[in-house]
Amino acid sequence: MKTILTLLFVVFLALPAGGQIVQKPEWVKQFQEGKGPLDATDYYVGVGSSKTTQDEADARARQEFGLNVEAHVQTVITREIQETEKRLTDEYSSSARVVSDVVFRGISVTERFEDKDDNAFYALIKMQKSVYDTLLVNEIRRDLERKKAENRVREEKRAEELRSLQAELDLKKKEEETRRLEIETERKVYEEFFRQRPPGQVVDARNAEIAKELNTVGMRFGLSPFAIQSGYYILSLSRFEVSAQAYFQEKVLQREQAAIKIQMLEQAGEFYKTSLAFGGLGYGEASSLKALDTTKPKYSFFLTGNVALPNAWYSYASFHVDGRKLSIGIINYPLQRHFKEAISLVLQMDYVWNKDWRNRFGDALMVQGGIRFRASDTFSTSFCYENHESIVCSIEMAI
């Protein structure tokens, strides 16, 4: 009995403080000797070590495991994609690393060891290649299905956008065709109106049209009492028009002006035909008919335009603005169907901010209107109430 107790006491003394003898694992020995793992043929292995913490050893083991499987992972991914969906090969190759990372996050540390003699921590990650490849292939297939589903959604969305765009284009084309037919129909209704020559002036304000003949002369005189009010001359050359006008009061030259006009738009548009012109003018007061001495002349740019409004009872709207006043007018052919352009009504409203060019009552706002008769393309006459005081007869003749 005493012998047995003595033997047990010797064994107890031989045990370390922890109560058990800890053998250094073979994989730690291999790592310390700088050798690779013995079972690397059938397993993916990663070994990490740290002199500070076990967590750092774990992290290095994962890093080493990832390096060992990286090349093989690329091979498996490429093979699986080519076998399942060749069309996705190029698209999916960019996400191969992502897939391997997804699988890698499910790998845990297989074994840990703390070497107290060496004061170091060790970690081992070990997995059979067949098991890992199965996990990887399953993840690839799931991701491929997600990719294909995303592609289907994108393709369906793109197809729907194309259908919507095509429908929009078809509708726009149909609307344009409908509008074109409407314009064509309206043009036929107003064919005679479009065929006639647009008027060159309203009451006394000229618009953007250029006289067709080389020379045009005109005279305006009051009927009661009879008195010459103004005379003018127009020289037209293609898109240019030069004019001179003299104003009389009691047979004495009172004012005069000269202008040059350049047409930049002529009857543009399919239905609402529009003309625009600009130019410059000089004007001043004259002291007598005998000596055309003037005070300092003034100069101004002007802009003028007119637009056809056939569906507004066969009308033309005009405007003229310069440094003296703004004139807005309308010319209407009430008997277009019967007399065409032979008879027209004219209405003009002026806002005159230059006091020297107001009427003798000093009115800033004036409304003038009357009736015009066109006997031919070269001769016309009109009777209008002007300047808030008299009936004026105007005669214009092209030479």
Q: Are residues 357 and 241 in the same domain?
A: yes
Number of domains in the chain: 2
Q: Does the pLDDT of residue 145 top 60, yes or no?
A: yes
In a domain, 160, yes or no: no
Averaged over 216-229, what is the pLDDT? 87
**Number of C-beta neighbours around residue 390 at 10 A:** 16
**Number of C-beta neighbours around residue 106 at 10 A:** 9
Three-state DSSP class for 106? coil
The predicted structure's pLDDT at residue 136:
75
What confidence category does residue 19 fall into, taking pLDDT thresholds of 50, 70 and 90?
very low
Q: Does the pLDDT of residue 102 top 60, yes or no?
A: no
Instruction: Order the strands of the 43-50 sheet from edge to edge.
Output: 43-50, 120-128, 111-115
The predicted structure's pLDDT at residue 105:
62
Q: What mean pLDDT is reported for the chain?
A: 82
Quote the distance between the C-alpha of residue 21 and its chain's center: 81
Q: Does the pLDDT of residue 326 top 50, yes or no?
A: yes
Q: In the chain, what percentage of residues exceed pLDDT 70? A: 82
Residues 6+ apart with CB under 8 A from 39: 45, 126
208: DSSP letter: S
pLDDT digits (tens, 9 = 90+) for 290-302: 444 445 678 999 9
The residue behind tokens 């540390």 is 109
Q: Are residues 72 and 198 in the same domain?
A: no
In a domain, 7, yes or no: no
User: 60 lies in which domain range?
Assistant: 13-155
Q: Are residues 227 and 135 in the same domain?
A: no
CA distances to 19, 59, 307, 361, 362 from 12, rounded to whole Å, are 9, 38, 120, 137, 134
Selection from 152-161, 179-188, 256-265 with the highest mean pLDDT: 256-265
Q: Are residues 145 and 202 in the same domain?
A: no
Q: Are residues 245 and 112 in the same domain?
A: no
How far is residue 309's CA from residue 71's CA, in Å, rounded to a whole number? 80
In a domain, 164, yes or no: no
Helix (H) or strand (E) holding 362: none
Q: Are residues 118 and 69 in the same domain?
A: yes
How far is residue 357's CA from residue 254's CA, in Å, rounded to a whole number? 11
The predicted structure's pLDDT at residue 160:
87
The predicted structure's pLDDT at residue 226:
83
Instruction: Decide: 398 and 211 in contact? Cβ < 8 Å.
Output: yes
Three-state DSSP class for 210? coil
User: Could you tell me the two tokens for 373?
Assistant: 């008769």
Which carries the bigger pLDDT value, residue 259 or residue 118?
259
The predicted structure's pLDDT at residue 18:
46
Find the CATH number of the domain harbouring 95. Answer: 3.10.28.20
Q: Which of 155, 186, 216 is the last residue of a domain?
A: 155
Q: What is the largest CA-CA distance in the chain?
A: 166
Q: Which of 155, 174, 206 is the last residue of a domain?
A: 155
